[in-house]
Amino acid sequence: MGIEVCRAVDAAEDLELVAMVDQGDWLFNVSDVGAEVVVDFTTPDAVMDNLHWCIEQGINVVVGTSGFTEQRLDRVRGWLSHKPGVGVVIAPNFGIGAVLMMQFAAKAARYFESVEIVEQHHPKKVDAPSGTAAHTARLIAQARAEAGRGAVPDATTDEVPGARGADIDGVRVHAVRATGLVAHQEVLFGTTGETLTIRHDSYDRASFMPGVLLAVRSVPQRPGLTVGIDSLLG
């Protein structure tokens, strides 16, 4: 993703690529060259230190790295409270189709008794479940709670641990890894006599670039924390 983002920024006439930073490189290069925005696609282990450093330096940040829980977001809000002019956009998924898939899933959630998420990714992905799946599960759980829905019905005894997937806020999430896949997700809803499946497929990492560039262009005018790119879309 880092290389893909550098290519996209380099190709954009209104943006200038001033530094590329990999593991082991000094972050100081970024401030030395006067970067206005840093884009982070690293790992859940590395991202918090990178973010903290950038905020301290007064540099705006766009983050695509997964692994953001509500606790992590609160830590970022805390850092930003000392740097009121700095903007941070953290998005679980920059693909426009994926953003809509999450919105549609949150909308459908109140009407269906059952729901499960199946995310599918390339086998080099280091984390599971995906940030997109975790975020979708939380949105669905929130929508169900607001609609007064109780627990998803499930009488299964988990005879083999993991057979029923991970439980995120009461929503089962299943992670598939297979060569040939890029990034895909299905949200399966069920109620009496019918199911609804909402599916999104990223076939190429180019699908994330318009959303990343939109966030890069927007973040200097958006101090504070923005989660997701929904509010940036026209």
Ligand X SMILES: O=C(O)C1=N[C@H](C(=O)O)C[C@H](O)C1
- Applying CB under 6 A, the residues found at the interface with ligand NDP are 1-2, 21-23, 41-43, 46, 50, 64-66, 91-94, 127, 131, 208
Beta strands in 73-170 (DSSP E): 87-90, 114-121, 166-168
The burial class, CB within 10 Å (0-12 / 13-18 / 19+), for 147 is: exposed
Question: In sequence order, what are the residues at sequence separation of 6 or more whose Cβ sits closer than 8 angstroms to the Cβ of residue 5?
Answer: 39, 41, 209, 212
Whole-angstrom Cα distance, residue 14 to residue 196? Answer: 42
User: Shortest CA distance to 182 belongs to which of 138, 120, 132?
Assistant: 120
> Is 83 noted as a catalytic residue in this protein?
no
Residue 121 binds which entry of ligand NDP, ligand X, none, with Cβ cut-offs from 5 to 8 Å by kind? Answer: ligand X
In the complex, minimum distance from the CB of residue 86 to ligand NDP, in angstroms, rounded to a whole number: 19
Site string for ligand X, 168-197 (x = CB under 6 A): ---------------x--------------
* Residue 131 binds to ligand X (criterion: CB under 6 A): yes
In the complex, minimum distance from the CB of residue 168 to ligand X, in angstroms, rounded to a whole number: 13
| Active-site entry in 52, 82, 121, 184 | 121
In the complex, minimum distance from the CB of residue 31 to ligand X, in angstroms, rounded to a whole number: 28
Whole-angstrom Cα distance, residue 76 to residue 53? Answer: 11
**Is 179 annotated as contributing to ligand binding?**
no
Whole-angstrom Cα distance, residue 231 to residue 149? Answer: 27
Whole-angstrom Cα distance, residue 135 to residue 150? Answer: 20
| Active-site entry in 52, 107, 124, 125 | 125
Cβ–Cβ contacts within 10 Å for residue 64, how many?
23
Cβ-based nearer residue to ligand NDP, 94 or 112: 94
In the complex, minimum distance from the CB of residue 182 to ligand NDP, in angstroms, rounded to a whole number: 9
Cβ-based nearer residue to ligand NDP, 91 or 143: 91
Whole-angstrom Cα distance, residue 39 to residue 18? Answer: 12
* Residue 72 binds to ligand X (criterion: CB under 6 A): no
**Is 158 annotated as contributing to ligand binding?**
no
Contact between 112 and 143 under an 8 Å Cβ cutoff? The reply is: no
> Is 121 noted as a catalytic residue in this protein?
yes
As annotated, the binding site includes 32, 64-66, 91-94, 122, 131-132
As annotated, the binding site for NAD(+) includes 32, 64-66, 91-94
Judged by the rule CB under 6 A, the positions of this chain that interact with ligand X are 66, 92-93, 121, 125, 130-132, 183
What positions carry a catalytic annotation?
A: 121, 125
